[in-house]
Amino acid sequence: MSPRRRTIGLLIALAAVALLTLPWAVFTSRADLTFGPHEAQYRITADSRLTVDFGPLGTLLVPAEDYIPLGLGLHVDIGEIPVSGEDRDDDRPAADPDRVDDGGSGETGGGAVDALGGDVASYAALFSAPQAQVDQVVAGLLQEILIRWALAVCLITGGLVGLAAVLGPQRLETVVRAVAGKELIGITVVVALVLAGLGTVVAQRPKPIAPDPAFDGTPLAGAQVTGRLGGIIDTAFAAVKDFADDNDAFYDRVLTTLRSQWNQRPITGNWNDRGMVPPAGIGGQDDDSNDGVSTFVFGSDIHCNIGMARVVGAVAEMSGADAYIDGGDITMTGTSAENYCLDVLDDELPEKLPRMMVKGNHDSMETTGHAKTRGWKVLEDSSEEMAGVTFFGAADPRRTVFGSGPQLETDLTADQYAKRLAEEACDADFDIMLIHDAAVGAPSLRTGCVDYALSGHWHRRIGPETFGSGVRYLSSTTGGALANALTPGPLKMNAELSIIRVDNATKRPIDVQIITVTPDQKIIIDPWARFPAPLPLAAQPPEDEAGE
């Protein structure tokens, strides 16, 4: 047999395996993701509809031909809502603000947190920013399909190789010659089998959807509800839609006001060792006058307020920021369902803007692991460079979970963790510490090994001020997270975002400008405030003056 005919036979066999296993991989793949506040499993169907199965309650059927190609559909099996409930702590420091409390903190709630309201907010997020959910589903299913397809091709091909070994060279040559001699027939058979399989799927397509008039004029127009769900859908959907509409309208007005005030903001520059620092955002990132300065947008404690995520993205763009840094608590409890909170923030930031975070006590290892898959730099007892500045930081050792209270995620208490962090800081080479809780970072500032530290967690702004021999700056909550209240939605307290400029020659922060958004949709842009210089160790105040 000629090499050409042997090659043709091999290619026909591989094509047959690939074509016959692809539909199997597509229609048997499952992706375990989230749907609003729920855990959920997704699978592809051939019915050109989105089917959301709520089990005994019934199903939601939505036409999908406009956004899912090739007549395909999507089936979502809704699971349970991850642990949630009562968060029993308060972040506001007591008489001793620098003591590390092993009990954690609970910025976003207490016994008055309305769990149902949180679920409504999660559903409403699907209306306000659906692309993050779509991206999750596409990525999850595509990964599963490719894994299954590759596995099937490898197993079947391996089986064929094994069969060839059993047959031996002579018998194999006879079989290959027979196949290669009838390559057109082989191809026809493969195509016929594939078309027959697809034809069977199409023939079994369900009846057309009977649209529910309750959805007319909404993003779910043309959808149908079955089962017991139909009896409550009008009320539930109205609540979700009203929440989403109110949230979108609130932050639309906030962004309009912000953009109208941006050019009138205080722009008086401060001085570094080489002259006056140009105002942030003047001339843009490509302006040579800004080469000596790195501009960072700094947020913390956004607590899944996706409306404020829009504000963060707008400020990052208008300020010509070189990077975004986050002091933690992007989520409310750190469940896998809340990866969506980080996805929305990530989508709102300028596409190529570098971004960094440190885990807060309301985040989890799941949160930071997901952030890494989205390209974020995560500080975990480590140093990372961002826009020419090296940051050092570590994850908060606690995790605060609604219903079960604070838990330690390390084998060290928070006080022990803070002391270890101080030792690590003295061994590391960095410019600025980024840590969620200022109390955890306090021992590091007292060692003389940390000149500057950025934090959040307390939900009130402090500094920039000297502390120990260094300088600390605490951001207030960027999400407007009021204790004992639901964070997502229109603001219930002031939300703050900071723009920090760093001298690239000395790697020292120069100044900070705070942007405040109020519950009555006002924007306050403060004048630039200077960062003080660190103190020599001999000049630091006595411990009793430092708050202990």
First to last CA, the chain: 89
Higher-confidence position of 64 and 116: 64
Cis peptide before 464 (omega within 30 of 0): yes
Q: How confident is the model over 367-385, as pLDDT tens digits? A: 999 999 999 999 999 999 9
Please answer whether residues 33 and 82 qualify as being in contact, where contact means their C-beta atoms are separated by less than 8 angstroms. Answer: no
Confidence category of residue 136, pLDDT binned at 50, 70, 90: confident
Q: Residue ranges of the alpha helices (H) in 363-510?
A: 365-373, 414-427, 438-447
Residue bearing tokens 């920013």? 129
Give the closest residue to 35 by CA, choosing from 50, 46, 49. 50
Distances from the Cα of 440 to the Cαs of 90, 305, 357, 414, 427, in angstroms? 16, 25, 16, 7, 17
- Which token pair is 361? 């006590």
The mean-pLDDT minimum among 67-81, 94-108, 309-323, 484-498 falls in 94-108
**In this structure, which amino acid lies at residue 276?**
M
- H or E stretch including 45? strand 38-45
Average of per-residue pLDDT values in the chain: 77
The closest of 417, 449, 414, 430 to 507, measured between CA atoms, is 430
Average pLDDT over residues 286-307: 81
Q: Which residues fall within 8 angstroms of residue 469, CB to CB, at 6 or more apart?
A: 445, 446, 447, 448, 534, 535, 536, 537, 539, 540
Residue 124 pLDDT exceeds 90: no
Residue 355, both tokens:
């971004």
In sequence order, what are the beta bridge partners of 456?
Answer: 437
DSSP 80-118: PPPS--------S--S-TTSPPTT---TT-STT--HHHH
Question: What is each CA distance from 476 to 248, 299, 310, 529, in whole angstroms?
Answer: 23, 8, 18, 15
What is the average per-residue pLDDT within 258-265? 93
Query: Over 90: is that where the pLDDT of 201 sits?
Result: no
From residue 509, alpha-carbon distances to 267, 291, 467, 530 in Å are 17, 15, 15, 8
Higher model confidence: residue 415 or residue 493? 493
For residues 2-17, give the mean pLDDT. 67
pLDDT band (50, 70, 90) for residue 330:
very high
Query: CA 511, 357, 135: angle at the middle one, nearest 5?
Result: 125
Go through the domains of the chain in sequence order and give each one's CATH number. Answer: 3-82+123-203 (no CATH), 242-266+300-546 (3.60.21.10)
Do residues 491 and 480 make contact, with C-beta atoms less than 8 angstroms apart? Answer: yes
d(C-alpha 147, C-alpha 144), whole Å: 5
Question: Percent helix, strand and coil across the chain, each rounded to 5?
Answer: 40, 20, 40
**pLDDT value at 89 more than 80:** no
Angle at which helices 183-203 and 130-180 cross, to 10°: 140
Q: Does 211 score more than 70 pLDDT?
A: no
* Residue 220 burial (CB count, 10 A): 21
Q: What digits encode the pLDDT tens for the residues 428-439?
A: 999 999 999 999
pLDDT given at position 85:
41
Enumerate residues 6+ apart whose C-beta is below 8 A from 272: 292, 293, 503, 505, 506, 510
User: Does residue 239 surpass a pLDDT of 70?
Assistant: no
pLDDT at 87: 38
Name the DSSP letter for residue 331.
S
Give yes or no for residue 495 having a pLDDT over 80.
yes
Closest by alpha carbon to 313, among 297, 290, 293?
297
Phi, then psi, of 301 in degrees rounded to 5: 60, 50
Token pair of 1, please?
């047999």
390 neighbors 323 (Cβ within 8 angstroms): no
Share of the chain above pLDDT 70, in %: 65
Where b means 16+ CB within 10 Å and e means fewer, 73-112 reads bbbbbbeebbebbbbbbebebeeebbebbeebbbbbbeee
C-alpha–C-alpha distance, residues 114 and 108, integer Å: 11
